[in-house]
Structures are given as structure tokens and as C-alpha cells.
Chains A and B, each alone.
Chain A
């Protein structure tokens, strides 16, 4: 049966058809939907782990137990999971195991651009790279076979334009896979030096075997047309190249990214004139070509930043510029904003009002950094708010009473907890604000350990941040819970905890305004006669409020009735919702 599927959905279908039994992941754009779609199959046990390291280790455990398993993450998630990733190469598998990582060239929804292909090389693991939805399905199935044939986890590398593009796929039925036998074997799985040394030799031997397989791998395809230009490429770049050059060039499409097919590349190069390597981000294939003595064009012409397109290739490789018209007017940008009714908004308003140093984190609330709130000093990576503020305040102790770390519920569970342990253990006294909107919102509403629901929509124990804080040693009187829509209460609580010389945790709890079941209240309205045009209500960056004919005005089709603006109006001009 043929169907149009998102790359991520097709990858999940591949897991299903291959008889995969367990998927453990942490959500991250653009990888999230693989796990969500996998969870829809009753035959697959799927779960959200608190972070990628836990997810990968869970999948590794399942593989050792003999079942086919997978874990999915975005590129930065693989940094978190790097420890078990590297050891996975030594331990090998029982049932086949896949690590699916989605890169984000162009940073559509990420804090950096990162080329995950280096991980395959560094960890000495095979990596496959599909270029569309059909290949996502096919490569996942083949990935399991390779994993079992070579006794190694296999990495599947995706990117935004593969994960989030839909194309036609051909579906088959699921083939159940018997559990592989489990036999205790410490020499293979207890990675202490005496065992790991011989395992390292096995890893190198495996790589050599795979390198010779690479030359015959069905996913490495040479396509000979006009041979004046030979293009070596992979993944989504193959599509851009084909779009631009058509039959006017020959192609070597590489599906097995590690190890690369040395003889195949040499043969292709010998049959073509000028060789161009087209790859997004780093010069991964290009460096290999140079190493084996093949002169190529690549990053001398094409950039190492941002995603590619047919327009970029036409411009850089053929000198053809796009023709188009545009208006003379300056078009205002439309950056993403905190949604109407977002419970985070009021908290950032208070941060700004109190002129605090704000160590931020990764989530929707990173938008608190944008104008007009502008209440964020740093955003590094998952969990870094809690750990980095500790370092900042150790160097500048007088900053402690003027600073907060701000982190979401899911990010706190991911890697904020260890930072909090460090803060308490090492006699810090910073204030940590946890924005608990009862869901992992940024990636599209995934459950997490604090929501009380599993990925399979089953009720479970909710790990509450207050309990965690108490357990790691934050004193009970310095663990506070407030409603983030009550601006006065947020400000009062913050001031009290900032003044204390103990570590504090303030949990701002209110469900995401977009969450199913959150009631939308009637819109607030502004009495134009009472409005003094002071623009105080504009300071919260609510997309519902704008100035119309010199007076503030609320768009009733957008307003969710959160009432935050009405708390800021000194003239009582804003009324409505529950608080009329």
C-alpha cells in the first residue's frame, strides 16, 4: 500500500515493520514525531525518558535482553547521550539497536548547528542517512539487519528536511522477530579495562569488515549520466543536486555514511571529470575524499553554515541567480512569541521589573528573551540555567540576590536536577524558578515525569519538582509554589526568596494555555475612555494587545482571558474575564 508520510512517521513505520519492541526517547525538534508515531503501534512499547542518556541506555538494555530497540533524539540530544553511545560500540547488541538522530541545519528550532556524522566516526558506529520518507522506512529496516549482522548499534541520521517532509512510501506488514538469546557474558558487557581492551580490538575489526561491505552496500548508489561533473552527496542534498543538475551530471549517493565506501568513491571519481561534494554543514565526505587522494570541490565553494537548497546550488555552482520581485516597503519580521494566555509571560514581566540577571534554559520560555520582555541573560543548553547561575554567583556573590535561574518542568527533569544537587551540595544560595506548565510544550505537548501520564496515555506517578527539591536538600520553607498569572504574588515571593541566604526553588505552576482541557475565559476589553495611552499593558508582549487610534486595544478573537494585562493597568481601564 502506498501512502504519503512524514519522514518521521515513515521511520516509525520502519520500526514497526522490523518488529521493534521498545522505543525510549526524549523529545526534540525535528525528531519528536518518530517516537510519537511509534507509540501508536500496540506492538511497540514506547516511552519518554527524562533525557537522551537515559533513553539510549534503556534501549541498550532492551537490546541486551534480546529485543530490537531504538531511541530517538535531536542532534544536541546526542551530546547528552554520548557516553552510552560510545560504549555501545564496544558492547554490541543482542536484538538489533538503532539510534536515530535528527540534525537541524538552518536552526529552525535549535540553539546550534551540529553535524552528527562526526559522532559515527568518533564512536566507531555505522551510520545510515536516508533522503526521503521512503528511504526512512527502508533504511530503518535495513539498519536492524546490519545491527544484528555486525553486532553493533547503528545510527540513522535524519535532518529537518527529511524528518519534516512528506513523500510517498510503500507499506508492508510487520515481521515479528524472536528475542535473541540472552547469555551472561561479562567479557562483552562489563566494560572494565580487562574486558574493554579486547573489545576495542573487536570494534576496529568490525569497522574494517564494514568498510569492505560499504563498497557493495545497496544504499551507496552510483548513477552515471553526463560524466563531465560527478557529484558525491547524501541525504536531502542528493535531492537538491538532482533538482539542479538532472541528467547533466553523474551522482554517487551515499546512504552508508560510516564507514565510507573507499573503492566505490575511487571508481566513481575515475569515471567522472570534475568531482563536487555536496553536503550540508561540515566537510565530512570531502575530508575522506582528500584522505584517499581524490581532488574534489566542496567547501571551497559551498558554505559550512545553514541548510542548502536548489537556489543555493544554482547560484554557487552554476552562477545562476534567482529572479524575483519584491515590495519596496520594509516588511516587519514576525518572530515567534509567547502565546496569548501563556503562563510564562507574567514571570518574565516581574524579572524585567526587578532588573534581575536571568540564567535561561531551553523551552518555550526562551522566548522571554525577546522584546519587549527581554528578560534573559543566558541560554546555553538543557539544564544549564541551574548549574551556570551557581558558577556566576560564586564569582560574583553580590549578584546572588539579584539573579535567578529559570527552567521548565521537563527541562528540570532532563538535567536541571543534577545542577540543583550541585547548588545545594556546594553551598550556593541562588534562586531557581521552575516554570511548571504541566507538559513539554516547546516540542508540541509531550508528557514528562512530572505530568503523571505516560507516552502511552496511561496514568502514572508524577515526580513533582517540589518533592525533588526537598529530597536534594532545599529547605522546605524555601520551596514555594505560586500561580504565575498572579503578578503581585510572583513578585512578593521572588523578593522574599532572593533576600534569603539559602538555596530556593519557586515553582510557578499553571498549565500551558494550549493544553487540552484548559478553559479559555471570556476576552478582556479595554475601556478607551479610561485608557491613558501609557502603554504599560504593552510591556508584556501579548500578541492580543495593540494600539488602535492611540488607545490600547485587545483582539477578542485571540484573548484567552488570562487577565495579566488588567493587573498592570493603573487606571482600571482593562476589565473582563472572571475579574469584572
Chain B
């Protein structure tokens, strides 16, 4: 049971976490692992907090990841990394895009967006890999490749070879946008924190 790898993809509804889970799912299939991916559709997509669970290994039972279980939390947004931090296991890694999107309670002024989130998480002895993947995507030629840049950023922590991941990106993005996505992936992969 200990050989199961748990990855959580978190973000804001509409940010495109579906592609990220498809890429990881395809990479895992290429490696021949058993895999379960669980997501929630519907109401939560309307700009709400969204989460996708990806679990793989020899035999996966539960489709969900619970508190203290995630090896990697891949976060598309800074506040969401803070929200889902309790799901990370002790030696886990948070890979985060530093983009900030204000939720409604912040917009209405009822609450404030916490400051220095990355520093505060690091102060808990948690490994955080943070980058502005929107800029990386822009550098690659298209803002929309931000999620693939984030996948690249996670590449070193997945526990399998980067070639498999590259192959999975190729399988998962439309051929028309392959070049820009591969470039974004490499920029993310090579990014030094």
C-alpha cells in the first residue's frame, strides 16, 4: 500500500486543470501502473475551488486523497496551495503557480488574501517549488500553456523519467499547439527555484 503515489491538482474552476490530469494520467499509463483519477464536475466549476486526485501504483483502491496523504500538490493558484496544504504528507512537495485570484469574500472586502503564502508554507518545513508559470508560458509563446509549464515544473518530483512525461504531453495536447506547449514544458522543467 505504501507504493501508491498521490498527486493533487488544485486551482480555481476554469483554470484548465483537466489537461494536467490527462497528461499525468497518460504518463502513468505509459509506465503501466494502475491509476485512478477523481474529479468533481458541476457547481464547483463556476469559479469555485476545484481539486482533482490522481493516484497510481501497483493497485489503487480509493479514488480520493485525504489529509496528510499527498506526495505532490500541484496548485494553479497561490491561495489554493494554502487551502489544500493539510492534504500534503510530511515529506511532500508543493508545486505552485504564484498567480493570485481573489475569491468572492476578498472581493467583497469580508476577508483579506493572506500575504507571504510561500514563505509561510516553507516555515512549516514544507518543500515549495514556486514559479510564475504564466510568465513562463508567455515566454514560450502563449499564456494558455501556463498549465503545461506547471507540469514541467513538477517534472523532477514525479518519480519517473522526464522522457515519459514529455511523451505524455505530446499525447495530450492538440498537435496545433504542440511546439508552444513543449517549449513551456521545458521552461518549467528547467526552472530553478
Contacts and interface: CB of A to CB of B under 8 A. Distances in A.
Interface of A: 4, 29-30, 32-33, 108-109, 132, 160-161, 164-168, 236, 239-240, 242-243, 246, 309-311, 322-339, 364, 367, 370-372, 442-444, 538, 541, 543, 545-547
A337 B12 CA distance: 11
A332 B110 CA distance: 9
A323 B68 contact: yes
Given A327-B85, A332-B103, A541-B104, A167 B47 contact: no
Contact residues of A: prevailing secondary structure: loop
Contacts of A242: 61-62
Contacts of A338: 46
Nearest to A328: B120
A248 to B, nearest CB: 11
A135 B126 CA distance: 39
A311 B44 CA distance: 22
Given A166-B36, A311-B69, A333-B49, 15 more contacts: A132-B63, A165-B38, A166-B37, A167-B36, A240-B62, A323-B90, A325-B85, A325-B126, A327-B82, A331-B114, A336-B13, A336-B45, A336-B46, A339-B46, A546-B106
B56 to A, nearest CB: 10
A236 to B, nearest CB: 7
Nearest to B104: A337
A239 B103 contact: no
Contact of A322 (B48, B66, B107): B66
B42 A329 contact: no
Interface in B38-75: 38-49, 60-64, 66-69
Contacts of A168: 29, 34-35
Nearest to A166: B37
Contacts, number: 177
B88 A324 contact: yes
Interface of B: 1, 12-14, 25, 29, 34-49, 60-64, 66-69, 79-80, 82-83, 85-88, 90, 102-114, 117, 120-121, 124, 126
B37 A4 contact: yes
Contact of B107 (A109, A239, A330, A543): A543
Q: Which of A165, A236, A372 has the most CB of B within 10 A?
A: A165
B63 to A, nearest CB: 4
A329 B120 contact: yes
B108 A371 contact: yes
Minimum-distance CB pairs A-B, first 9: A109-B42, A311-B66, A29-B42, A336-B48, A336-B46, A334-B103, A165-B63, A329-B114, A334-B49
B106 A336 contact: no
A243 B46 contact: no
Given A322-B67, A546-B106, A336 B47 contact: yes
A240 B61 contact: yes
A326 to B, nearest CB: 5
Q: Which of B46, B87, B90 has the most CB of A within 10 A?
A: B46
Contacts of B107: 538, 541, 543, 545-546
Nearest to A107: B43
Contacts of A326: 85-86
B103 A322 contact: no
B63 A161 contact: yes
A4 B117 CA distance: 36
Nearest to A29: B42
Given A324-B88, A327-B114, A334-B12, A167 B41 contact: no
14 contacts: A165-B36, A165-B39, A167-B37, A246-B1, A310-B62, A310-B66, A311-B66, A324-B68, A327-B114, A332-B106, A334-B80, A372-B108, A442-B42, A546-B102
Given A4-B35, A242-B61, A246-B1, A325 B88 contact: yes
B81 to A, nearest CB: 10
Nearest to A236: B63
A54 to B, nearest CB: 22
B41 A109 contact: yes
Nearest to B1: A246
A108 B52 CA distance: 13
A132 B90 contact: no
Given A29-B42, A332-B105, A339-B47, A167 B35 contact: yes
B161 to A, nearest CB: 20
A336 B47 CA distance: 5
A29 B41 contact: yes
B67 A324 contact: yes
Nearest to A4: B25
Contact of B41 (A30, A236, A239): A30
Contact of B44 (A32, A108, A166, A545): A108
A383 to B, nearest CB: 19
A364 B36 CA distance: 29
B115 to A, nearest CB: 9
Contacts of A29: 41-43
A239 B53 CA distance: 15
B40 A164 contact: yes
B108 A538 contact: yes
Nearest to A160: B40
A166 B63 CA distance: 8
A372 B107 CA distance: 10
A327 B114 CA distance: 10
Contact of A108 (B25, B40, B69, B79): B40
B103 to A, nearest CB: 4
Contacts of B88: 324-325
B28 to A, nearest CB: 8
Contacts of B112: 332
Q: Which of A132, A167, A236, A538 has the most CB of B within 10 A?
A: A167
Contacts of B83: 331, 334
